[in-house]
Amino acid sequence: MQMIFGLMRIVSDGSPANNTKRFKRSIAWRVAESLFATIPYVVLFAALNAMFGGYFDMALMIRLTLILVASLLLQLVCSVASNVDGFIGGTGMMCDLRLQIAEHLRRLPLGFYTRRQTGELTAVMTENLLHVEEAFTHLAGELCGRLAIAGLTGALLLYIDWRLGILAMASVATGLLLFRIVKDAANRISRAKVTQKAATNSRLLEFVQGIKVIRAFGLSARGYDKVLNALQNLRALSIRVEIIAGIAAIGFSILLEIGFLLVLARAFQLNLDGKLAHATLVMFLVMSHRFYAMMNESALLMAQLAFYGKSFERIVALLDEKSLPEPTLAVVPDRHDIEFCNVSYSAEPGAQTLSNISFSAQPGTVTALVGPSGAGKTTIVHLLARFHDVGSGKILIGGVDIRHMHQDELMDRLAIVLQESYLFNDTIENNLRIARPDATQEELIAAARAACCHDFIAELPHAYQTMIGEGGSNLSGGERQRISIARAILKDAPIILLDEATASIDAGNENAIRQAMAALVRGKTVLMIAHRLHTIADADQILVLEQGKLVEQGRHADLMQQAGLYARFWEQQENSRHWRFRQAA
């Protein structure tokens, strides 16, 4: 139950009060149902006393029958009300929790996703949330109802005969102690199982997504071995969890049965000694059986809730991940020049990714970032988009520190085209409208024409209404990249970030796209990463990075005169353009 109350506190912060009230009310209805479910046993006790006392008559039978009918009707009303409030309130709270997690994921820095495997996050968003949802909509109410019945039945046992009642309580306490000891061991293995299940999801996802590469290089067996090993480890942990859970459940049940037999033996002994009336004996046998049955069912529900508690822990851990801080009073810049002021950043402790980077970029200019792999080019773009926060220094847009801007306000000013832009399993039109949902059809087509993708879209079976598959799998790499560029053109943001935007474009379309992008960047501040240096020879300034440091800066002609790193890169690329494959003699 600690999980339920803990998650209620989390969800209530972002959930409408009505959902939380409904869920709490469903618990109250369930407890009331348990109260009315105990009334028939009170009626039975009264009937037995009357029968053994010799004063049972028709009038009493009618009264007791009416009480039974009323209790059954009240049970039905409480059960229906509990189910309705529980399902509506519980599912409503879980819907709010999913939205809360999605909003939290949107605010997390990109570094969080590089540390986490996709399968791990998928497990949290699917399986773990389903576990917690079942705990809310089913298990919590059932457990509260059974505990309430056990409590009321236990109180009746003490009322009927306190000596036998204490004996029954003692046997249950012994069983619960054993159950707790075994449960702690099961919890440790359950935690390992949940972790292994997330790792297995990652292996399966990796195998499915990479099946083309695996088969192309003849690695099917090796790729399958990883999945098989993950599944075997999960199987071994699952078996251990079930064995320990079985020991706990069976051990608890055996102790309850032993306790029940001891209580029966003591009850019959007291009856034979004349210290316990016949009616009391019969009633005690019925009530004690009911008490032990409810405690056994409660233990099983608690064990299941304990297992689901690992899912709860993973959800809480995800929500505890620190998001990027938002300013209390945001500042909105009135211009769009960019300035890096002594920026340093470390992706990991002790590993400096960028060191003391300073430069400025003005509207209407193109700033190109070049350098060897790992030099820090992409990191600069990510820092400007605030996928991470700088370690030291500051980044200004229009003289305003980007940490003093709301993230939504910052992203509205940026259009980003990455090397591997993601397309959603939707129509081409909806993928484009992500940039501007209110764009007219004419503006959408104009952006597609500028990115040289209108012609191939028009040839598709349903044109702009064509579904493109998960990640754009129905399109070629160049087609996906051109749609990403069209999306950036449609957004028409004042700052444009390009990470090798033409890397997947064929030579026939590259010149056309460069012309379109020249029109796109007019009057805007552009940062672009390029590996093919001839594509940025006309840039207003070129920043040359090496090992996280800015080693050269200037226009193409100036850098060529310096005969430094940039000049060497240019010479190497020019020489490579004349390479030819020759068949061996």
What digits encode the pLDDT tens for the residues 112-150? 776 666 666 777 777 777 777 777 777 777 787 788 888
User: By mean pLDDT, which of 189-193, 207-211, 283-287, 467-471 is the weakest?
Assistant: 207-211
Most confidently predicted of 131-135, 160-164, 228-232, 396-400: 396-400
Please indicate whether residue 39 or residue 12 has the higher confidence score (pLDDT): 39
Mean predicted confidence (pLDDT) in 281-295: 78
Spatial neighbors of 265 by CB under 8 A, at least 6 apart, are none
- What is the distance between the alpha carbons of residues 71 and 38, in angstroms, rounded to a whole number? 9
pLDDT band per the 50, 70, 90 thresholds, residue 314 = confident
Integer Cα distance of 94 and 337 in angstroms? 44
In the chain, count of helices (H) and strands (E)?
20, 10
The pLDDT score that the predictor gives to residue 565 is 85
Tell me how far apart the alpha carbons of residues 564 and 556 are, in angstroms, rounded to a whole number.
12
The bridge status of strand 525-529 relative to strand 365-370 is: parallel
Cα separation, 187 vs 311, whole angstroms: 12
Q: Which residues fall within 8 angstroms of residue 388, CB to CB, at 6 or more apart?
A: 109, 110, 111, 345, 347, 379, 382
Half-sphere exposure of 430 (CA within 13 A, CB side): 11
CATH of segment(s) 2-319: 1.20.1560.10
Tell me the HSE value of 383 on the side-chain side, using a 13 A CA sphere.
27
> For residues 128 and 176, what is the distance between their CA atoms, to the nearest angstrom?
27
Strands 414-417 and 365-370: what pairing? Answer: unpaired
- How does DSSP classify residue 135? I
Burial of 286 (0-12, 13-18, 19+ CB in 10 A): middle
Neighbours of 187 (CB within 10 A): 16
Alpha-carbon separation of residue 285 from 159, 235, 329, 542 (angstroms): 14, 43, 70, 90
Separation CA 577–CA 40 (nearest Å) = 92
Confidence of residue 585 (pLDDT cuts 50, 70, 90): very low
In the chain, what are the helix, strand and coil shares in percent, each to the nearest 5? 65, 10, 20
Which of 47-51, 284-288, 498-502 shows the lowest mean pLDDT across its residues? 498-502
Q: What is the mean pLDDT of the segment spanning 42-49?
A: 78
In angstroms, how far is CA 182 from the centroid of its own chain? Answer: 30
Would you place residue 210 in the very low, low, confident or very high pLDDT band (cuts 50, 70, 90)?
A: low
User: How far, in Å, CA of 223 to CA of 229, rounded?
Assistant: 10
Q: What is the pLDDT of residue 17?
A: 59
DSSP state of 421: -
With a CB cutoff of 8 Å and minimum separation 6, the contacts of 557 are: none
Task: Please report how many Cα atoms fall inside a 13 Å half-sphere around the Cα of residue 563, on the Cβ side.
Answer: 0
The tokens for 189 are: 């293995």
Answer whether residue 12 shows pLDDT above 70: no
Q: What is the pLDDT of residue 286?
A: 78
Task: Please tell me the distance from the alpha carbon of residue 232 to that of residue 288, in angstroms, as a whole number.
Answer: 44
Q: What is the pLDDT of residues 485-534, one digit of tens each?
A: 888 888 888 888 887 766 556 666 666 566 666 666 777 888 888 777 77
What is the rounded average pLDDT of the residues 79-85?
84
Share of residues in the chain with pLDDT > 90 (%): 0
What residue segments make up the domains of the chain, in order of their start?
2-319, 338-576
User: Can you tell me the distance from the alpha carbon of 365 to that of 128, in angstroms, rounded to the nearest whole number?
Assistant: 49
What percent of the chain clears pLDDT 70, i.e. is strictly above it?
79
Model pLDDT for residues 328-380, shown as the tens digit of each residue: 787 888 888 898 998 888 877 666 678 888 888 888 888 888 888 778 888 88
Q: Please name the fold of domain 338-576.
A: Rossmann fold (3.40.50)
388-433 residue pLDDT tens: 888 888 889 888 888 888 888 888 888 887 766 678 888 888 888 8
Instruction: Pick the range with the lowest mean pLDDT from 206-220, 355-369, 567-581.
Output: 206-220
Q: Which of 114-128, 144-158, 275-289, 468-482 has the lowest mean pLDDT?
A: 114-128
pLDDT band at 184 (very low <50, low <70, confident <90, very high): low
Distances from the Cα of 179 to the Cα of 169, 176, 183, 251, 307, angstroms: 15, 5, 6, 8, 14
Would you state the structure tokens that stand for residue 319, as one six-digit string?
Answer: 């929500």
CA 380 to chain centre: 28
The pLDDT value given to residue 255: 75
Residue 90 above 50 pLDDT? yes
Average pLDDT in the chain: 77
Q: Is the pLDDT of residue 27 over 60?
A: yes
Chain length of the chain: 585
Q: Is 7 exposed, middle or buried (0-12, 13-18, 19+ CB in 10 A)?
A: buried
pLDDT at 223 over 50: yes
What is the pTM for the complete model shown? 0.63
- What is the reported pLDDT for 446? 87
pLDDT reported for residue 218: 54
- More confident call, 581 vs 146: 146
Residue 36 pLDDT class (50, 70, 90 cuts): confident
